[in-house]
Amino acid sequence: MGKGFPEGFFWGGATAANQFEGAWNVDGRGPSVDDHITGGSYKEPRTLTVDIKPDVLYPNHDGIDFYHHYEEDIALFAEMGFNMFRMSISWSRIFPNGDDAEPNEAGLAFYDRVFDCCHAHNIEPLVTLSHYEMPYALIEKYNGWESRELIAIFEKYCKTVFERYQDKVKYWLTFNEINCGIMQFGALLETSMCRGYEGPVSGIETTMQQRCQALHHQFVASGRVVKYAHEHYPQFKMGNMDCFILSYAATCDPVDVLANHWEMNKTNWYCSDVQVRGAYPAWAPRFWRENGVKLDIQPGDMDDIAAGTVDFYPFSYYMSNIVGTHDVEQTAGNMTFGGKNPYLESTDWGWQIDPDGLRYALNLLYDRYQIPLMVVENGMGAYDEVEADGSIHDPYRIDYLKRHVRAMREAIDDGVDLMGYTWWGPIDLVSAGTGEMRKRYGFIHVDKYDDGTGTYERRRKDSFYAYQKIIKSNGTEGLDD
């Protein structure tokens, strides 16, 4: 067995405001894009509506009502032993329209209470500044990140929350899964270029030109914000955040190997190279040329990007897929579709379970960047049954957890500098992809259902105790039994 997890390793869970806070129109909060999206399922895409219709159920409106349950929830996280809690600030709770002159004090005060509660339990907050939730008014006015105006608007929002929480938050992430912006589906939640669109979310169409330009605006915004944070708050640690979509060549045909290489370039390295290395990768001009992209890069943009490189590399990891030029059967995955791997099993939502892939990803990333890494999302969506006595037995989730934690242990022994692990959805919350509650990730069950019913009561699942055992022993117990 290897040397195990370093002292001070961060163990915790990860959430996003729009998927669990609820209270969507309470205390001055403005609607975000998620408040305009209906529920869906594995087979049925969610629908985006321009207006919020009174007779339609929008699952993010109530989430799991963390807004009114945060003390109870953070106490449960502490009981599991968390020393880190990843959450996001809802941009439209602070600036209801995104570009308001003054922030909403009630929104700011809410996060003061949440951070204070975390610290009272010795839990370090890890805060995502923008997790899939553009204020809807910015979509109507600017078509999201398509507009360069968003850079200054985002900077103002970040400066406001930095100033307010400088003594309460040390670890910050700029954009959740920024690399999803390069893919067609990212136009909804990442770059929010969906002005006036009404219909199934799978039908939103953008060009590669629009997507690369929107990402460029986000890179400049992130660079400026990271630089500002380093200059004004030297205690801050700034990270980007990528959805690491690991893919393997489907066969040893060199054509497949190259196809996979380019897929990895586009899907993963395009964004992370910019944020970690401070420059576009060498192959970017060819990629732009072949995809009809003519990037508008203003004087000073590349300096801002170069000056705002991140301190650590946090990423989500759920699954892997394969890429090839021969017949490849497709399956679902995190925010995307990919090739089916005959050697892997899948969740009920078609996501292929690949703990060895996590070890591989950690090695790839550390070899490439040589900065500390953090797994800030990893988890398994599954159907859970509540027994007559209220217990919830979830061996599938425990198995997934242990296998991925073992993979991290191996990677640390390989020499990877890994700072922490925050499980996605330590408490059941609304799925980003499908809007479902029944796709449950939590160690804590929430009595909330897809038809909007439920008491919001919280219950510990078996996995609650499994994770508690792992955390309490810093990964020396509860992994191999």
d(CA 186, CA 174): 16
d(CA 9, CA 408): 12
Active-site annotation holds for 377? yes
d(CA 242, CA 313): 8
d(CA 91, CA 236): 20
Q: How far apart are the first and last CA of the chain?
A: 14
Sign of the CA dihedral running 34, 36, 38, 40: negative
Contact between 400 and ligand BG6 per CB under 6 A: no
Q: Which residue is nearest to ligand BG6 (CB)?
A: 433
Contact between 16 and ligand BG6 per CB under 6 A: yes
Contact between 316 and ligand BG6 per CB under 6 A: yes
Contact between 87 and ligand BG6 per CB under 6 A: no
β-bridge partners, 10: 420
Distance of CA 234 to CAs 56, 237, 355, 368, 459, Å? Answer: 47, 8, 36, 25, 40
Least separation, in Å, of the C-beta of 375 and ligand BG6?
A: 12
Decide whether 139 or 332 has the Cβ nearer to ligand BG6: 332
Considering only residues 203-232, where is the footprint of ligand BG6 by CB under 6 A? none
Return the range that interacts with ligand BG6 (CB under 6 A); candidates 192-200, 301-309, 401-409, 425-433: 425-433
Helix (H, G, I), strand (E, B) or coil at 419: strand
d(CA 284, CA 365): 19
Considering only residues 160-179, where is the footprint of ligand BG6 by CB under 6 A? 176-177
Helix (H, G, I), strand (E, B) or coil at 377: strand
Return the range that interacts with ligand BG6 (CB under 6 A); candidates 62-70, 274-282, 358-366, 432-440: 432-440
- 114, 70 Cβ separation under 8 angstroms: yes
Residue 11 has which token pair?
Answer: 């163990």
Interface with ligand BG6 (CB under 6 A), residue from 10, 233, 312, 424: 424
Among 21, 133, 177, 263, the active-site one is 177
Torsion of CA 310, 374, 428, 395, to 10 degrees: 160
Decide whether 104 or 179 has the Cβ nearer to ligand BG6: 179
What is the per-residue DSSP string for 226-254?
A: HHHHHHH-TT-EEE--EE--EEEESSS-H
Least separation, in Å, of the C-beta of 316 and ligand BG6?
A: 5
Least separation, in Å, of the C-beta of 330 and ligand BG6?
A: 17
d(CA 336, CA 256): 19
Decide whether 17 or 284 has the Cβ nearer to ligand BG6: 17
Least separation, in Å, of the C-beta of 236 and ligand BG6?
A: 22
Decide whether 301 or 450 has the Cβ nearer to ligand BG6: 450
Least separation, in Å, of the C-beta of 425 and ligand BG6?
A: 7
Active-site annotation holds for 345? no
Contact between 352 and ligand BG6 per CB under 6 A: no
Total residues at interface with ligand BG6 (CB under 6 A): 17
Decide whether 104 or 422 has the Cβ nearer to ligand BG6: 422
Decide whether 146 or 377 has the Cβ nearer to ligand BG6: 377
What is the per-residue DSSP string for 420-440?
A: EEEEE-SB----TTT--SSSB
Contact between 433 and ligand BG6 per CB under 6 A: yes
Interface with ligand BG6 (CB under 6 A), residue from 439, 440, 448, 461: 439
Give alpha helix (H) positions in 428-474: 462-472
Return the range that interacts with ligand BG6 (CB under 6 A); candidates 138-146, 276-284, 430-438, 473-481: 430-438
Contact between 336 and ligand BG6 per CB under 6 A: no
Considering only residues 99-158, where is the footprint of ligand BG6 by CB under 6 A? 132
Decide whether 266 or 409 has the Cβ nearer to ligand BG6: 266
Least separation, in Å, of the C-beta of 431 and ligand BG6?
A: 4
Least separation, in Å, of the C-beta of 31 and ligand BG6?
A: 18
> Phi and psi for 238 in degrees, rounded to 5?
-110, 130
> Phi and psi for 216 in degrees, rounded to 5?
-60, -45
- CA neighbours closer than 13 Å in the CB half-sphere of residue 165: 32
Q: Which of 177, 151, 150, 174 is nearest to 162 (CA)?
A: 174
Contact between 381 and ligand BG6 per CB under 6 A: yes
Contact between 335 and ligand BG6 per CB under 6 A: yes
199-200 and 171-175 strand pairing: unpaired
Among 124, 146, 263, 377, the active-site one is 377
Contact between 45 and ligand BG6 per CB under 6 A: no
Least separation, in Å, of the C-beta of 199 and ligand BG6?
A: 19
Contact between 376 and ligand BG6 per CB under 6 A: no
d(CA 471, CA 123): 13
Interface with ligand BG6 (CB under 6 A), residue from 74, 76, 220, 243: 243
- CA neighbours closer than 13 Å in the CB half-sphere of residue 108: 15
Length of the chain in terms of residues written? 481
Q: Would you tell me which residues interact with ligand BG6 (CB under 6 A)?
A: 16, 19, 132, 176-177, 243, 316, 334-335, 377, 381, 424, 431-434, 439
> Hey, which residues are catalytic here?
177, 377
